[in-house]
Structure 1
């Protein structure tokens, strides 16, 4: 008999990157010891650039000091992938899930994250596809609409995906996004050319796509206020 997969969704709103990183670390530790179920963080960040564990500084095209004048931060992470940007009007999912429990390897996990974003784009009649030639993420033609950078520790995932709803794409001009110099970045707003529902609605749709892609059956959710009360803070 196939086990029913349960997922708890935390809807956090806008969270500083360093606080989200501390929260992920805490939840990964709890998930490893089976103190919590599989958990999905749904959030946005203030303007933030992040470098993966390869530390590809050359793909940051401006001095780090200049980022402060733009109102952006730079953070160093232990996720895979290259440099990327996170900001308002971007839907971010950080799954803290056990790959062993759902029988996924790393490649299958990334493919399902890609499928999550492809399905969301299709809901708006945008034909997106997975990267080619080993490139991760989701693309519309040669324009990237969704990025992926993950970490897996003892079979437990962290970090995840970022889907561009309608972020300020000018921020991407200061980096070589994901280390790919000859391709650009796009957004759902740019591809549809029309009005979109609120970010909250699109976040809910993205969560739904994730749930279907990974086969979760029992899904519960918590909002930011209840999470703060239960945990005494996010970070």
Structure 2
């Protein structure tokens, strides 16, 4: 797989729903590249031009939103209380419980072909954890660690720094990770983040004692992504 191109889509601050729409277009492209008669490598898309079959969608949620995965939605009373905070509510096709996405958070949605990579799903999740750990080391945060299930993600002590929730259909991944850079952590006070009682949430800014924005971490994130998933990055857009 060495040097396989992965298209990078840098969306910047956009609504969570917009990031999902871009992700779904990438999933469709990855599936089309695997269809009958498709060649391995770059895929031709409507509008012309060849683009890599695999992608990673990077964004920062422009507005606060609570999302939940396949393990269940909040009940009516809880949903009403969350709407009362002014945040949006969105169901997502991913693993995991309810969590928060908002400004100051890096959302990364890799769309990778695990069959082509001969990578099991658990190995893929471990790869996401490994790339965030590499990012943390690059920033001087050597105490970050990954824990065994059900404590998926990256942690500082008993506080989660990065949440991971993925979906995989026909061996094509979607959704991914949410890394708290300078997120307002008080939004997490209204939920049990990821369904884990007694655990906290933290951010890079809190742990490093300085303001770390999403833009600050994009370059080390992409360097780590390239290393862990053994690829080259293509910035040609869609």
Bin the TM-score by the shorter chain. 0.7 to 0.9
DSSP-derived class of the 2:219 partner: helix
What is the root-mean-square deviation of aligned Cα atoms in Å? 1.9
- What is the deviation of 1:131? 2.0
Tell me which residue corresponds to 1:140. 156
- What is the deviation of 1:211? 1.4
Equivalents in 2 of 1:143, 1:44: separation in Å?
21
Mapped pair 1:109 → 2:108: no
Equivalents in 2 of 1:98, 1:21: separation in Å?
18
Q: Tell me the matched-pair count.
A: 219
Mapped pair 1:176 → 2:192: yes
Equivalents in 2 of 1:37, 1:156: separation in Å?
10
Equivalents in 1 of 2:2, 2:104: separation in Å?
36
Mapped pair 1:203 → 2:202: no
- What is the deviation of 1:207? 1.8
Write the mapping of 1:125-136 to structure 2, written as runs, cut at 5 A. 125-126=140-141, 127-136=143-152
Structure 1: runs of 5 or more not aligned? 231-235
Contact 2:106 2:181 in 1 (8 A): yes
Equivalents in 1 of 2:122, 2:211: separation in Å?
35
Write the mapping of 1:48-127 to structure 2, written as runs, cut at 5 A. 48-57=65-74, 63-126=78-141, 127=143
DSSP-derived class of the 1:33 partner: helix
Equivalents in 1 of 2:140, 2:220: separation in Å?
14
Deviations 1:63-97, CA, capped at 9 Å, x for gaps: 32343443310101111111111111111110011
Contact 2:158 2:200 in 1 (8 A): yes
- What is the deviation of 1:195? 4.2
Mapped pair 1:190 → 2:206: yes
- What's the TM-score once normalised by structure 2's chain length? 0.85
